[in-house]
Amino acid sequence: MYYIVETPKPFAQAVEDLEAAVVRNGFGVLHVHDLGETLRKKGVEFEEECKIIEVCNPVQASRVLSSDMRLNMALPCRISVFTEQGTTSIGLIKPAEMLSALSDDPAMTEVAQEVEDKTIRMVDESR
């Protein structure tokens, strides 16, 4: 259900390269959540880095929402860059598996697979 790759890049470079790959692949970055910073600001000891990049392709999102408005809770797609014991990784939850658990509409399977192929390409391009 997960697609996660390690990268030799430093955390900040991996984030920057992922954001560029998102745009190159016809998606937009909606928001970046700096989870590590948020936890530390709340007084939680957290030594790792973690940014969650919310990405969206408006045409694909519209297709999903036109089919089943409840699927808005699965949008936008999230790709994370995180560190774990000195290693930087980039990963996502595969959209095709997630949406197939939420909808039995065959059209959603097709859309989800298209999105999954592109988001995996973004991860691979940024590694």
Tell me what pLDDT residue 109 has.
87
pLDDT in tens, 55-95: 999 999 999 999 899 999 999 999 999 999 999 999 999 99
Tell me what pLDDT residue 108 has.
87
Is residue 91 within 8 Å of 5, Cβ to Cβ?
yes
Range of the domain at 118: 2-126
Burial (CB count <10 Å: 0-12, 13-18, 19+), residue 120: middle
CATH number at residue 76: 3.30.310.70
pLDDT in tens, 85-112: 999 999 999 999 888 889 888 888 899 9
Tell me what pLDDT residue 36 has.
96
Tell me what pLDDT residue 104 has.
87
In sequence order, what DSSP letters do the residues of 26-61 get, joined into one string?
T-EEEEEEEHHHHHHHTT----S-EEEEEEE-HHHH
Into how many domains does the chain fold? 1
Is residue 102 within 8 Å of 71, Cβ to Cβ?
yes
